[in-house]
Amino acid sequence: MPYERIWKRILSQNEKLVFEFSIGRRYRFFKMLLRLVIWAALLSLIVISIVSLTQVDHSIIVIGAIVLFLLATLYYAFYYLYYQEISNLYAFTNKRVVIHRGWFSTVTTSIDFDKITDVVVMEPFWARVLTKSGNLSINTAGTDQREVILQNIPEPYEVKKKLDEIMGTVA
């Protein structure tokens, strides 16, 4: 279990981690590539404008643009491939659903299985087709609003089946 250190802080003595997951890898990779393509297009337009409007040495501008693009790539790689995963952790234990958000400052939400009234799977078309991800909405007694949404998770129907299976063995 890759996040054992985090779960050790959160879970009680007699609670067992059954399933852990985060935002989908394909979703995060797609978002990173999309941002990099947009960044490259904007940077290219800026470089072309500067080169056509000034008499400055073109090699300096091109090198500067390459450095900026490499810095943006490092930033997006860190943000989407590491930070988004570590700051959006979800777990099913033998007693509850646990949502752990954040990295430096964190918020942990939990929903006991006996409080869950229904679970809704939402798969927007483009998310399903491009990233094979969707959202899982968990509703509890006492309100008609969606209370907790696990966003951009991989294979949301499989995750719902896993939750139903765990809740069925506990009941």
pLDDT at 170: 67
| pTM, full prediction | 0.85
The residues, ordered by sequence, that sit 6+ positions from 12 with a Cβ below 8 Å of its Cβ are none
- Amino acid, res. 106: T
pLDDT digits (tens, 9 = 90+) for 135-145: 999 998 876 66
- Between CA 115 and CA 97 the distance in angstroms is 10
